[in-house]
Amino acid sequence: TRAYCHMQLKDYVAAAGDLEEQVRFKPDDDWAWAELGRAYGLLKRYEESEAALKRAIKLKPDDPYAHYQLGLVYLMSGRASEAIPYLQTTVRLEPGNKEAKKLLDAAVAETSAKPASAASSPAAAPARTIRSLSPSRKAGTCRRLRGMTKYQPRRKAKRRRA
C-alpha cells in the first residue's frame, strides 16, 4: 500500500493521512490501526497513537506487533510503567523477540531506578534504546511516490526482436 511505502520513506505525515483514510473505509482492519498508531507515535502524537493501537489490540488481541508498538509509545512518552504489561505480552506471544525483551528490560530498569514522579516525565524515557530498537517491517522495494496516486505494479520489460 502507499501507506507502507510512505513509512519506508520516513514520510510519516503522508503515511498517517493514507492510514486515516484506510481505517475510515475499513474500520475493522487491525493492521491499518496498528500502523496508524506507529505513524502517530513517530510523529510524537502520543495520545492519538495510544488510541489507535488500543483499537488494533481490541480488534486482534493476540497481535504482538500492536502490543510492542503500544509499549514503545508509552516508553517514548515517558510512561515506562505503563509500557511493561504490553511488552510482557509481546514477549509472551513472541518468545524469540529480542527487541521486545531489551525494551522490557529498559522499562523495568527505568521504573525501578526513578521515583514515581520522575518516571512519568517524557525526559525519563530510555531514548537511545528506543531509537535503536524501533522496528521496521521488511517487504519489497518501494518506488519514489512522486505523482503516485494509487498502487502501480511493475511493468514487464518488452522483449526486442532480433
Q: What is the pLDDT at residue 11?
A: 86
Indicate whether 119 pLDDT > 50. no
Question: pLDDT band at 5, cuts 50/70/90?
Answer: confident
Indicate whether 47 pLDDT > 80. yes
Max avg pLDDT among 33-37, 136-140, 141-145: 33-37
DSSP string covering the chain? -HHHHHHHTT-HHHHHHHHHHHHHH-TT-HHHHHHHHHHHHHTT-HHHHHHHHHHHHHH-TT-HHHHHHHHHHHHHTT-HHHHHHHHHHHHHH-TT-HHHHHHHHHHHHHHHHS-HHHHTSGGGS-HHHHHHH------S-----TT--S--PPPPPPPPP-
Question: pLDDT band at 112, cuts 50/70/90?
Answer: confident
The cell for 158 is 518488452
pLDDT tens digits for 60-93? 999 999 999 999 999 988 898 999 999 999 999 9
Q: What is the pLDDT at residue 114?
A: 65
Indicate whether 143 pLDDT > 70. no
